[in-house]
Amino acid sequence: MAPIPFSEEASRHEGLNFYYTQEDLIKEYAKKNHWNYVITRPNVIIGVSKGNFMNFAVSLAIYATIQKEKGEPLIFPGNEIGWNAILDHSSALTNARFQLWSSTNEKTVNQVFNIHNGDKVQFREIWPKIEEYFGFPHYEQKFSEDKTVSNLFLPEYMSKHKELWHQIAKRYNIDEAAFEYTTWMFMYFIVNVPSNAEGDLSKARKY
C-alpha cells in the first residue's frame, strides 16, 4: 500500500487493476499517434448519471429502499474499518469541471492529477444523515470483534432481493432497470476499505 495521502507518483500496488491497463494504453497510443493526454484520478465519484455502472449513490439508494420495504434498519453493510476510515470522495460536478479545465490547459499536457473534493468524511459521520434522508430511525451499528468482517456480503444479499426491487419499481413507476446498473461488489469494496483513502491534491492546486 502506498503512503497516504496517495500522490500521483506513488508506486502501483500489486495485483490487477484495470485503471493501470487504461493508463498504459493511453500513454502508448499517445506516443505512437503524437497525442497529448491528461489523466485524472478521482476517488469514488458521487453523482447522478442514468445507466452508469460503479455508481455508489444508486447502489446505496437501492439498498436503502430494500431495507425500508422490509421494515429492517439501515445496517451499514461494511466492516468496522470501513466505518471509521477517512475517505475523500469526488463529486461528479467537481470531476467534470476539472477534466474540462485540464484538457484545455497547455500546462497540464501529459500530466496525471488526483482530483477529489478535499472534504474528508467517515461513514460513521454521514450514515446517520443517510438514515434520516431515507426516513429510517437511528440504528446503533454493531460489528464483529474481528474488525475486517463485513456485516453483509452485498453481492449475495442483494441478489436475493432483485424481484422485490422490481415490485417496488412497478408500484412507484420508477426505473426497474436501475438494479442492473448497480455494482454490488464495488459498493462492498467501498464500505470495506482496508485503510484511509485520501489523495494528495497539492499538484492539482499548484497548477
Contact 196, 122 (CB under 8 A): no
Q: What is the pLDDT of residue 53?
A: 80
**Confidence band (pLDDT; 50, 70, 90) for 97?**
very high
Provide the CATH number for the domain formed by 31-197 in this structure. Answer: 3.40.50.720
Q: Residue 49 pLDDT > 90, yes or no?
A: no
- Tens of pLDDT along 79-88? 999 999 999 9
CA distance 71 to 172: 18
Contact 190, 76 (CB under 8 A): no
CA distance 170 to 150: 31
Q: Express as a percent the part of the chain with pLDDT over 70.
A: 100
